[in-house]
Structure 1
Amino acid sequence: MEADCLFCKMVCGAIPVTLVCQNDAAIVIRDIAPKAPVHMLVIPKRHAKDMISWSVEAQSDEWGKVMDLSSQAAKDENIVENGFRIVINTGIDGGQTVGHLHLHLLGGRAFSWPPG
């Protein structure tokens, strides 16, 4: 945990959140500025600044649990049938605004390509 990290504070309960679901690797909450009818954040409990800082090879079991939770949240929100999008912003040019790796889980409408 990083003492000055907004998402670490959410994960440890210092900042109250309404959990959609969680497991031992991550929490899922609703985004406070949704960009789709369903917009949730999947936040790993272990702090990593971004995808570059996260060693997927060394933490594959943990990453699998993050992805399993993402799938479960999509099922629980009934967005699986028509599809959904998972976005991981990394760095300033990638649109990352909080320095803690997190996934945006979006659904409930059609998305275009390429994004943004």
Structure 2
Amino acid sequence: MAATYDPNNIFARILRGEIPCRKVFENEHALAFNDINPQTPTHILVIPKGAYVDMDDFTAKASDAEVAGLFKAVGEVARQAGVVENGYRTLSNCGRDAHQEVPHLHIHIFAGRDLGGMIGRAK
């Protein structure tokens, strides 16, 4: 069963201006900002402005314009951050087994060093 959207999650509060962020990009449907606990030299979060729990919720309920706006934002942020040439990784955790920490869809952009291979093989 999917999680319920919590309107008081940290990203909802950032969107409402209750918590500051270091914004790097914004369009009609998305906001991007530097992660407060970066895991790589470049670690940016891109979030939709709508109230979506995770990728499943977003792809089931978001309008075509919202979907396009979010994914265009990811590409634009990567280009503006100058990480396209050497490469970057995007990640969006969805649900319990993926260890999603905030119940608002967010896409991580990791870059700035060799990120290694994918996750380990299934057992």
| Common fold by TM > 0.5 | yes
Give how far 1:56 is off. 5.0
Residues 54, 112 of structure 1: alpha-carbon distance in 2 compared, 3 angstrom cutoff: same
Residue of structure 2 in register with 1:49 after alignment? 53
- The 5-angstrom pairing of residues 42-81 of structure 1 reads 42-56=46-60, 59-81=63-85
2:41 is aligned with 1:37: yes
Query: Aligned partners of 2:7 and 2:87: how far apart in 1?
Result: 36
Query: Aligned partners of 1:67 and 1:115: how far apart in 2?
Result: 23
Residue of structure 1 in register with 2:18 after alignment? 14
Query: Aligned partners of 1:92 and 1:58: how far apart in 2?
Result: 22
Q: What number of residue pairs does the alignment pair up?
A: 116
What are the ranges of 5 or more consecutive residues in structure 1 without an aligned counterpart?
A: none
Q: Determine helix, strand or coil for the equivalent of 1:55.
A: helix
- Given candidates 106, 112, 116, the residue that maps to 2:116 is 112
Percent pairwise identity: 34
Give how far 1:95 is off. 2.0
RMSD of aligned residue pairs (Cα, Å): 1.8
Tell me the alpha carbon deviations over residues 19-61 of structure 1, each in whole angstroms, 9 at most, x when there is no partner: 1110010110111111111000001100111112113575222
TM-score, normalising length from structure 2?
A: 0.85
Q: Which amino acid aligns with 1:48?
A: Y
- Given candidates 15, 23, 27, the residue that maps to 1:23 is 27
Return the index of the structure with the highest Cα Rg: 2
Residues 58, 35 of structure 1: alpha-carbon distance in 2 compared, 3 angstrom cutoff: closer
What are the ranges of 5 or more consecutive residues in structure 2 without an aligned counterpart?
A: none
